[in-house]
Structure 1
């Protein structure tokens, strides 16, 4: 089946997601298919949710009203989880996006993935590690040009435009003035090295980059966009531990040290 025809559901926790990030989030979810189900959950009597009220009209997102029935209890999370399980049970959704920085959605992401359905999480840099790892991919909205508090605290980064989130043409130079690349930490480097060591290599020691990326994705919610890169090949090029070779059959990588 053509990936573009796959049915994707985006569920948004309005209390824990910034409306200014919705454009790049929808672009990222295009990797999975067409976002036909779009719902945002919250108590719309709250002035703080005005941004989501405006975006729901602009992007055809269905608002889901949930009153705050008891102080300190979030009924919105419960409603969002119930709807996700209903969509899962119907068997018509082939990919999920969850916009929230709330760790309460960790069990939901794990349950959806048990049915072999990918879950993309979108949250801030303060999102708990449990929810990050429960997702197939977790993307820091600050790296997408989001307007949340984390993005405001990063003066070196400028907001991305919608066009910036689209894949670059082969050989095209990145636009000037875009976010600076974040340093690739030892944990990510170890993940890439372990993936390289685990895949099949040719006589010259080169391994398929797609095979490395697939294995790394199976072991972690790691996503190159969290480091300011559109593609894994872009990130690998900036890591001194690897050497890239472009072939007719794709991109191949060799570990140097």
Structure 2
């Protein structure tokens, strides 16, 4: 007995999908495509945006990336034009628009005026004008990027006050006037030794230097060395060099 395979045609409506690629994350691409697939037969599947920033959407594989070029609202305008074209010239009766841009409410209403069943896809809340203007709305989960493995924190090296003081002494000793401005010292320490103000145990270079008896900072914010002199009365004292 010969068995015949009966193929039933897919009578579901053909669904044209238009995605605002600059308004939604490409991480949502698979969810958007799945939502559109559940609505009917596959029709146009287009995503709009500046082509130089569409690599994530291109990687999805089943979407046609439409380059809207750079420019304010360029992607929105091109999407609206081609959606209307699909309805009025291409005969599309079900159009899915994936976006969270409230301005697409105008497009949704105009398509509905022409008898098109408009399905919104996105992450909009119930009060979003675009969502309200659609015939139906499919909410998808917001994408949260989670790194596969967070890098282990790198401990900052301990601040070596004696070494930093020695570097400062050397810098002052090599300067022509045997002194350095606070700003010049800060730049020197950062450029030469990679030591910034943020690494200091004090709030500023001035405070740090004033806490060290080897240095003095005058009223003009010039840093000088304090040189030791032989004691005169049995105790040590310092003088500005």
Structure-1-length-normalised TM-score? 0.49
Instruction: Confirm or deny: 8 A CA contact 1:10 1:37 kept in the other structure.
Output: yes
| SS of equivalent to 2:109 | helix
The answer on 1:53 being equivalent to 2:94 is no
Aligned in 2, Cα 1:112/1:3: closer, same or farther, shift over 3 Å?
A: farther
| SS of equivalent to 1:77 | helix
The answer on 1:67 being equivalent to 2:69 is yes
Distance 1:83 1:117 in 2: 14
Q: Which among 31, 34, 43 is matched to residue 27 of structure 1?
A: 34
Highest Rg: 1 or 2?
A: 2
Displacement of 1:16 in angstroms is 0.9
Partner of 2:143: 147
> Where does structure 1 differ by over 6 angstroms across 4 or more consecutive aligned residues?
none
| SS of equivalent to 1:15 | coil
Displacement of 1:91 in angstroms is 4.5
Structure-2-length-normalised TM-score? 0.52
> Structure 2: where are the runs of 5+ without partners?
1-8, 147-241
Q: Report how many aligned residue pairs link the two structures.
A: 139
In the TM superposition, 1:76-225 aligns within 5 A as: 76-125=75-124, 129-142=128-141, 146-147=142-143
RMSD of Structure 2 on Structure 1 (CA): 2.5
Q: Deviations over 1:83-134 (max 9, x none)?
A: 0111111152121111111111111001111222211111224586110100
Partner of 1:41: 48
| SS of equivalent to 2:65 | strand
Distance 2:21 2:89 in 1: 25
Greater relative contact order (Cα < 8 A, sep 6+):
1
| SS of equivalent to 1:83 | helix
Aligned in 2, Cα 1:78/1:148: closer, same or farther, shift over 3 Å?
A: farther
Distance 2:107 2:82 in 1: 11
Q: Which has the higher helix share?
A: 1
Q: Deviations over 1:10-34 (max 9, x none)?
A: 0011011122223333333234321
Instruction: Confirm or deny: 8 A CA contact 1:4 1:30 kept in the other structure.
Output: no
The answer on 1:8 being equivalent to 2:4 is no
Aligned in 2, Cα 1:96/1:3: closer, same or farther, shift over 3 Å?
A: farther
Answer with 18-27 or 115-124: which moved more.
18-27
